[in-house]
Amino acid sequence: MAVNLNIPAQDTILPVDGIEIGVTEAGVRKANRRDLTVFRFAEGTSVAGVFTRNRFCAAPVLVCQDHLGKGTAIRAMVINTGNANAGTGESGLAAARATCDALAGLLGVASDQILPFSTGVILEPLPVDRIVAGLPAAIKALGPNNWFDAAHGIMTTDTLPKIVSRKVSIGGKTVTLTGISKGAGMIRPNMATMLGFLGTDAGIDQSLLTQVARDVADVSFNRITVDGDTSTNDSFIIAATGKSGVMVTSAEEPQYAELRDALKAVATELAQLIVRDAEGATKFMTIKVEGAGTQDEALKVAYAVAHSPLVKTAFYASDPNLGRILAAIGYAGIDDLDVSGVNLWLDDVHVAVNGGRNPDYQEADGQRVMKQAEILVRIGLGRGNVTETVYTCDFSHEYVTINADYRS
């Protein structure tokens, strides 16, 4: 029951010159399921990534960080679903490296030019033999028009594929950006999300791309939450092939900001798609905190509201039990918060004024907004000029059902 999640028509998805994709069924956990995806990048492609801060980060995340840290040109990615290869210790690391070795051999590149990704159940051994056995079929399928297959190939509890594609003009030249994402639960990215891959035929220096990837993640995947659970496998990758002829070599060039902003727009849309397809979601909520003194306190308040099970269940019920939002603001961790400066709006309805109920507030107005599928919760703190926005969803019976049954 995804919330206003639009899947674009397959023929509107633009290939990215320099990127080929192949998807196959490797039977990692279940049969008859596209669970193995390979990306191949043309020579000259810059690749940068942002990864989970979870200390129990998965083996493939460690290998990605190792390979990106070496500075060798990344030429391919391999992604399996069905198993997260997390909480698997030394043998998990060996399994991730063995996957890279096998793909490197088949593609004729070095093992440290491969980035591996896994997503699925934690604390179970990766069936590396099945993955390696599936690689030839994935390679055989490599082609520029398989973004849609890849969006399907990386799904786990997602109900719909998540894909965004657009053309933008950078420095007067046309550039393509196409990206996919996945994730529906264990979503509270910290530096990146479950899995997000964004390709462009713009070119950009490797060193600049690393900073751009962080900036992009910070306004997109780092601003969504479903259940507050930061995954062990969060990874967000940008690959810039340069095949469009656009080449950004300095942060001072106007094209730098143009490209960064275009990437931010696509990544934000991809991140929101994850919330729209969140486990059991029936509502899409934008939590906007204004008038904060610092970014940190704006985010504390936004996440306290976004994570409160009581707030989330009230939205599920379309019940304007809005004192629960005030309670969450109050425990968010701003020790010197003066509640008499706090205001609360639901869309255009002014619910609380100066820390108390707005005398003009009518419950019928709150009720009207609560029944919508998309709701803006706007909070004024009255402490400064910082604004931050976080995207989240409600908390339903279906979330409990999905997560009580996920492995069975």
Site residues for its own copies per CB under 8 A: 53-57, 84, 86-92, 121-125, 185-186, 188, 190, 227-232, 307-310, 313-314, 316-317, 319, 321-324, 326-331, 334-335, 337, 339-340, 342, 352, 354-357, 395-397, 399-401, 403-408
Question: Minimum distance between the CB of residue 372 and its own copies, rounded to whole angstroms?
Answer: 17
Q: Is residue 297 marked as binding?
A: no
Q: Is residue 408 marked as binding?
A: yes
Question: Minimum distance between the CB of residue 318 and its own copies, rounded to whole angstroms?
Answer: 9
- Whether 193 is a known active-site residue: answer yes
Instruction: Give whichever of 318 and 387 is closer to its own copies, judged by the CB atom.
Output: 318
Instruction: Give whichever of 214 and 264 is closer to its own copies, judged by the CB atom.
Output: 214
Q: Is residue 124 marked as binding?
A: no
Q: Exactly one of 178, 193, 230, 282 is catalytic; name it.
A: 193
* 17 CB neighbour count, 10 Å cutoff: 16
Q: Is residue 193 marked as binding?
A: yes
Q: Is residue 343 marked as binding?
A: no
Question: Minimum distance between the CB of residue 258 and its own copies, rounded to whole angstroms?
Answer: 35
* C-alpha–C-alpha distance, residues 127 and 205, integer Å: 36
CB 228 within 8 Å of CB 394: no
Question: Minimum distance between the CB of residue 368 and its own copies, rounded to whole angstroms?
Answer: 17
CB 223 within 8 Å of CB 136: no
* 129 CB neighbour count, 10 Å cutoff: 12
Instruction: Give whichever of 247 and 339 is closer to its own copies, judged by the CB atom.
Output: 339
Instruction: Give whichever of 147 and 399 is closer to its own copies, judged by the CB atom.
Output: 399
Question: Minimum distance between the CB of residue 111 and its own copies, rounded to whole angstroms?
Answer: 23
Instruction: Give me the torsion for CA of 63, 69, 74, 80, rounded to 10°.
Output: 20
Instruction: Give whichever of 108 and 359 is closer to its own copies, judged by the CB atom.
Output: 359
* C-alpha–C-alpha distance, residues 334 and 381, integer Å: 10
Residues 6+ apart with CB under 8 A from 397: 280
Q: Is residue 279 marked as binding?
A: yes
Question: Minimum distance between the CB of residue 50 and its own copies, rounded to whole angstroms?
Answer: 16
CB 344 within 8 Å of CB 325: yes
Nearest residue to 272 via CA among 61, 4, 75: 4
Nearest residue to 118 via CA among 154, 90, 80: 80
Instruction: Give whichever of 122 and 271 is closer to its own copies, judged by the CB atom.
Output: 122
Say if strands 203-204 and 195-200 run parallel, antiparallel, or are unpaired: unpaired
Which residues are catalytic, by number? 193
Annotated binding-site residue numbers for substrate? 156, 182, 193, 279, 403, 408
